[in-house]
Amino acid sequence: MNLNKTVAFYTLGCKVNQYETESIKNQLINLGYKNVDFENKSDIYIINSCTVTSVADKKTRNMMRRAKKMNPFAIVILTGCYAQTNSKELMEIEEIDYVVGNVDKQSIVKLIKELDEKKQEKLLNHNIFESKVYEEYEFATLREMTRAYVKIQDGCNSFCSYCKIPFARGRSRSRELKNVLEEIKKLVVEGFKEVIFIGINIGSYGEDLKETITFEDLVNATVQVEGIERVRFGSVYPDKISDEFISLFKNEKVVPHIHISLQSCDDTVLKMMKRNYGTKLIEERLFKLRERVPNLEFTADVIVGFPGETTDMHENTYNLIKKIGFSDLHVFQYSDRENTVAEKLPNKVDVKDKKERAEELQKLREDMVRLRREKYIDKNLKVLVEEIKEDYAFGHTENYIKIKMNRENVVVGNIYEVLLKKVEKELLVGEKKK
């Protein structure tokens, strides 16, 4: 037991990284390590990195240096996507003691256990493309209020021209259905009513498994689990929204909300990005979904300033996003990622133009947020209560709009029907039906 040893974690990036951090943290706590806040002095610091943007890389380097400043004698371990793709250059940074790539992430606990026993290799980073099957993580719930995330898949086969993630995560590997369902059943016992499927490209779930199974099969099996009241998805590509996918929403447990990995709404840009769909498919699929599914809401990611993107191309993206209408939008300014196809493309967009385009979409986002919420005033929606602060309870509707309501006779973790009265900033304010 290591009752006097402390460990601190800092996780950048997606829910998949957070899910994996949670597993490592729980294993170390079970070994007797005490988890402390990253801003505190600790014996060990573990930074789980992201490399989607250059900003994420910079933040990772800053956190490593901050760790050593807080305790010059601490052991600093860098893992995650940046560690996988840039291990050699990271090994040159003196503040890092160990670099552990994604493929070896599960070895961190073993590495720490053996630190006092023998000298460890400073670099653990095998070829990610040699990973052919999904590797299970020791069960540890990633909680967000009353919802729980369930990782169903890792890796991506798309190789979009701007993206480093396949080099950080490898090819798509799906988790066995029985293991996913086993985790969900454990979550029900712990009291969770809502599960959210996460992965690097969840729409490709099942494509690599020996048995014939699809993402739709997984969802249909999940809604049969007694005690689960809501099933939500992480990010989905537009070309994965088949008629079979749309039919999932006939089950009332499948919530009417989808996060779309959109990236652009211009055909030329989408082609340069090596996305496998065009604007005609985006419009047809999303409007068909909205037509078939009552109260459906979309959120999405979009990139502005991709190399070669003209003002007209940007306007095409702006106009289609406005036409569809999103309840939220995450806007990213394009940045070159090393060793990607897009890095070598000509006609880079000026920094000033990228900033202006991002600001235009942010303004559109604010308008859409207000409009998509106003349509629910004087309507009833079901709300899963997630927290109580002072005089109010907060939660999300099925279609992922945040709600503020009076806390009287309200219990965290329960679902209530709420009459919605007004919009307050980006919240809908309502009262529980008696």
* Angle subtended by helix axes 177-189 and 215-222, to nearest 10: 30
Q: What pLDDT is stored for residue 119 in this prediction? A: 60
Residue 32, burial from CB neighbour count under 10 angstroms (0-12, 13-18, 19+): exposed
Q: How far apart are CA 267 and CA 100, in angstroms?
A: 39
Other CB atoms within 10 Å distance of the CB of residue 214: 18
DSSP string for residues in 100-114 = E-GGGGGGHHHHHHT
- pLDDT values of the chain reduced to their tens digit, one per residue, 434 residues: 455 799 999 999 999 999 999 999 999 999 899 999 999 999 999 999 999 988 999 999 999 999 999 999 999 999 999 999 999 899 888 889 999 999 889 889 989 988 766 666 676 677 777 778 888 877 666 666 578 899 999 999 999 999 999 999 999 999 999 999 999 999 999 889 899 999 999 999 999 998 899 999 999 999 999 999 999 998 999 999 999 999 999 999 999 999 999 999 999 999 999 999 999 999 999 999 999 999 999 999 999 999 999 999 999 999 999 999 999 999 999 999 999 999 999 999 999 999 999 999 999 999 999 999 999 999 999 999 999 998 899 999 999 999 999 998 899 989 999 999 999 999 999 998 87
Query: Which has the closest alpha carbon to 312: 320, 300, 302?
Result: 320
Domains of the chain, with CATH numbers? 6-126 (3.40.50.12160), 142-372 (3.80.30.20), 380-432 (2.40.50.140)
> The tokens of 430 are what?
């309502």
Q: How far apart are CA 395 and CA 413, in angstroms?
A: 9
Sheet architecture: strand order including 230-233: 142-144, 147-151, 194-198, 230-233
> The tokens of 126 are what?
């095998």
Could you give the 3-state DSSP secondary structure of residue 385? strand
Q: How far apart are CA 6 and CA 32, in angstroms?
A: 9
State the number of CA atoms in the 13 A half-sphere of 314 facing the CB: 23
